[in-house]
């Protein structure tokens, strides 16, 4: 059973020192071992071994801007910036391709995807409206008119289980959004707002979406989610009251499930009371960790 969160474990050395050193960056670009990540717009392309496909950097098209991902197994690794792409677009075929990548490669891909998307969406200065230019080897954009530095954004999201009861009687709250595939339920989730802690956001979202008040919120794990650039932070909170008041603008349904029911869903048993999220989603990790705690 997979318990490591998806999109994690990349062996990428991000080489922060090179981002600030033009000579080092030039040397990496001139290195014969330097590679360019091959993408189909923003979707991954795989090589004959099933891993991410790379081409020699010397084969990069003329005129494209190159951002330094870092070093992978010693090789300088770059991505081409592509105006107009959007990391919001995703398909079941994309998820199938990601699930088939060797361990750690989805994390490398996630960094590339979110970075390229951010550049495509931020050609102008948010402060003065002037055109910005890439700097720090691709890990920022600088406005030449007002000197404002802009950095790739990450949007924090909390995703959580409320737990009611203890021991063999413990149950957790799951919910489904209207757009989910038939039968799919997941953990509830929502964006953090300015001025909130992770614990505050977990408590607010559970109260807003399901009418459940939690205490003793604990952090479990996190994962990047490159659609386009969220950081998913998974938590579990305890509640003493299992009554639900569902906000149907957010959720189609929500219900409490036992450890046996979660185990059946993760095992993809045909009579399981719900279909679990895919293994690269941190909700899956959250369910798996909660189950592991039950049986520890």
Binding site for Zn ion (CB under 5 A): 125, 127-128, 130, 143, 145-146, 148
Residue 209 to residue 192: CA distance in whole angstroms: 14
| Cβ-contact 10, 105 below 8 angstroms | yes
Q: Which of 42, 38, 85, 84 is nearest to 59 (CA)?
A: 38
Which residues on neighbouring strands pair with residue 40, listed in sequence order?
43
In the complex with Zn ion, the residue whose CB is nearer, 4 or 148, is 148
Query: Both tokens of residue 34?
Result: 């330097």
Among 172, 193, 185, 194, which Cα is nearest to 265's?
Answer: 185
**Least separation, in Å, of the C-beta of 152 and Zn ion?**
17
Residue 128 or 292: the one with the smaller Cβ distance to Zn ion is 128
Residue with token string 């299992």: 242
Residues 6+ apart with CB under 8 A from 179: none
CB of 141 to Zn ion, least distance (A): 10
CB of 245: closest distance to Zn ion in angstroms? 46
Output 64 or 145, the one with its CB closest to Zn ion.
145
Do the Cβ atoms of 89 and 97 come closer than 8 Å?
no
| In the complex, least distance from residue 120 CB atom to Zn ion, rounded to whole angstroms | 18
Q: CA torsion, points 54, 103, 136, 62, in degrees to nearest 10?
A: 10
Bridge-partner residues for 157, per DSSP?
A: 191, 232
To Zn ion, the closest distance from the beta carbon of 136 in angstroms equals 16
By beta-carbon proximity to Zn ion, the closer residue of 151 and 191 is: 151
Instruction: Report yes or no: 128 and 146 within 8 Å, Cβ to Cβ.
Output: yes
| Residue with Cβ nearer Zn ion (147 or 193) | 147
Which tokens hold the place of 124? Answer: 């102008």
Q: How far is the CB of 185 from Zn ion (least distance, A)?
A: 45
Question: Minimal CA–CA distance to 96: which of 255, 295, 279?
Answer: 279
**46 vs 148, which CB is nearer to Zn ion?**
148
CB of 293 to Zn ion, least distance (A): 49
Pairing between strand 155-164 and 171-176?
antiparallel
Nearer to Zn ion, 102 or 123 (CB): 123
CB of 116 to Zn ion, least distance (A): 22
C-beta of 82 vs 148, nearer to Zn ion: 148
Residue 270 DSSP SS3: coil
């Amino acid at each position: 059973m997979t318990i490591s969160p998806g999109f994690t474990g990349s062996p990428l050395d991000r080489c922060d020192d090179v981002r600030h050193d033009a000579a080092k960056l030039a040397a990496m670009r001139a290195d014969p071992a330097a590679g360019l990540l091959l993408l189909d717009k923003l979707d991954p392309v795989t090589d004959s071994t099933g891993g991410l496909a790379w081409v020699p950097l010397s084969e990069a098209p003329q005129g494209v801007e190159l951002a330094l991902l870092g070093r992978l197994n010693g090789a300088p690794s770059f991505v081409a910036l592509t105006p107009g792409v959007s990391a919001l677009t995703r398909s079941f075929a994309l998820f199938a391709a990601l699930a088939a990548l060797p361990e750690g490669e989805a994390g490398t891909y996630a960094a590339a995807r979110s970075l390229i998307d951010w550049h495509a969406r931020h050609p102008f200065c948010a402060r003065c409206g002037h055109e910005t230019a890439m700097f720090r080897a691709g890990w920022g954009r600088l406005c030449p008119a007002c000197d404002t530095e802009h950095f790739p954004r990450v949007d924090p999201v909390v995703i959580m289980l409320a737990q009611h009861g203890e021991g063999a009687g413990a149950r957790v709250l799951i919910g489904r959004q209207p757009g989910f595939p038939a039968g799919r339920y997941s953990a509830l989730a929502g964006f953090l707002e300015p001025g909130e802690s992770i614990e505050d956001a977990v408590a607010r979202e559970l109260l807003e979406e399901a009418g459940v008040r939690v205490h003793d919120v604990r952090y479990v794990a996190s994962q990047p989610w490159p659609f386009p650039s969220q950081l998913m932070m998974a938590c579990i909170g305890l509640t003493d009251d299992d009554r639900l008041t569902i906000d149907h603008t957010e959720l189609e349904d929500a219900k409490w499930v036992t450890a046996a029911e979660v185990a059946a869903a993760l095992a993809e048993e045909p009579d399981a009371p719900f279909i679990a999220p895919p293994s690269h989603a941190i909700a899956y990790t959250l369910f798996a960790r909660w189950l592991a705690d039950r049986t520890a």
